[in-house]
Amino acid sequence: MLRRPRRNRNHPVMRSLIRETHVSTNDLVFPLFLMEGYNQKSAIAAMPGIYRLTTDLILKEIEYCMSIGIRSFDIFPVVDDAHKDAQATKSYQEDFFYLRALREIKVKFPDAHIITDIAMDPYSSDGHDGLVSGGTILNDATLEILGKMALAQAATGIDMIGPSDMMDGRVGYLRKLLDKNGYQDVGIMSYTAKYASAFYGPFRDALTSTPKFGDKKTYQMDPANRKEALLEAQLDYKEGADVLMVKPALAYLDIISDLRDNFPVPIAAYNVSGEYAMIKAASQKGWIDGFGAMLETLTSIKRAGADIIFTYFAKEFAEGQKG
């Protein structure tokens, strides 16, 4: 045999010389859950190791993460039911704890890269990403609310907004609005191919944002569709998105690969709550090697073509690199 592929696998150094994919802390964004109050942390049942944190504790968490090499954070608000309404009014009220915390984070850690979430669901009494009327989601009326949200977030000094709502035309609408108001340096991390997925369950529990009726299938994509991701990507690209995201990640590696091959902008993938929960649960039962499964998962997402990976494993990965 002239060709013996095993020869290149014999020596560990040779294996590392020819390794094609390397995941590093530079690739990772750590999603954080921010709640109102002081000095409190509350566990999320299906996400072992991940907590809802009050502003003071999130500041400490960011400081620690920065010290181990995690420098990009995506911050989600946990909103009390009493503050929710049909119009998601709190999302753009300047003195609301989420916006105050963002300001504090950027003042205290100007070097941290902060991404915010644009969608109505954390603040909506209907638990939907858009405005609800008579059981349907109103696309264009939602844009106006998302616009107010984006301007209020941009005013805090954050670096990128992440529209996760899947309304049509929102990237272009938000880009124009940001530019008109002097925020041309605020980027758009667009949730471009976001699928109606069963893997968001633990996240919705964390935010108590489960839809009050129906599901999200009239705005999030059908998991069966591949071509449609290209259409969404074309639109977001033309409308000025700086980064195109695929979400979830693991069941959608083909979509990550398609977008990477077809668009000259960075591609992000969101390794979502349910994907985290599966590995954690099996590992707690002793059924799989959790650390190994994490590394393999992150590697597969990067290998498929993601430049940026949003993952609840970020801290654990960084700690593993150190040790």
Q: Does 129 bind ligand PBG (CB under 6 A)?
A: yes
Nearer to ligand PBG, 10 or 136 (CB): 136
273/96 Cα distance (integer angstroms): 26
Q: How far is CA 78 from CA 52, 86, 117, in A?
A: 8, 16, 12
Mark whether 194 is an active-site residue. Answer: yes
Q: Does 318 bind ligand PBG (CB under 6 A)?
A: no
Q: Does 126 bind ligand PBG (CB under 6 A)?
A: no
- Minimum distance, C-beta of residue 2 to ligand PBG, in the bound complex (Å): 48
**Cis peptide leading into residue 248 (ω within 30°):** yes
3-state secondary structure of 26: helix
312/75 Cα distance (integer angstroms): 12
CA 180 to chain centre: 26
Contact with ligand PBG (CB under 6 A): which of 78, 102, 119, 245?
119
Backbone angles phi, psi at 10, to 5 degrees: -65, -50
Q: Does 121 bind ligand PBG (CB under 6 A)?
A: yes
- Minimum distance, C-beta of residue 211 to ligand PBG, in the bound complex (Å): 8
- Minimum distance, C-beta of residue 8 to ligand PBG, in the bound complex (Å): 37
188/3 Cα distance (integer angstroms): 48
276/78 Cα distance (integer angstroms): 19
Q: What is the largest CA-CA distance in the chain?
A: 72
Residue 92 tokens, joined? 């753009």
Mark whether 280 is an active-site residue. Answer: no
Contact with ligand PBG (CB under 6 A): which of 25, 164, 297, 311?
164
Contact with ligand PBG (CB under 6 A): which of 146, 272, 304, 314?
272
- Identify the DSSP state of 310: E
Q: Does 148 bind ligand PBG (CB under 6 A)?
A: no
267/303 Cα distance (integer angstroms): 12
Q: Which of 84, 90, 216, 247 is catalytic?
A: 247
- Minimum distance, C-beta of residue 13 to ligand PBG, in the bound complex (Å): 37
Q: Are 245 and 233 in contact (CB under 8 A)?
A: no
Q: Does 50 bind ligand PBG (CB under 6 A)?
A: no
Contact with ligand PBG (CB under 6 A): which of 273, 297, 300, 311?
273
Q: Does 23 bind ligand PBG (CB under 6 A)?
A: no
Nearer to ligand PBG, 97 or 191 (CB): 191
Nearer to ligand PBG, 15 or 217 (CB): 217
Active-site residues, by number, are 194, 247
Question: Which residues contact ligand PBG (rule: CB under 6 A)?
Answer: 117, 119, 121, 129, 164-165, 200, 203-204, 216, 272-273
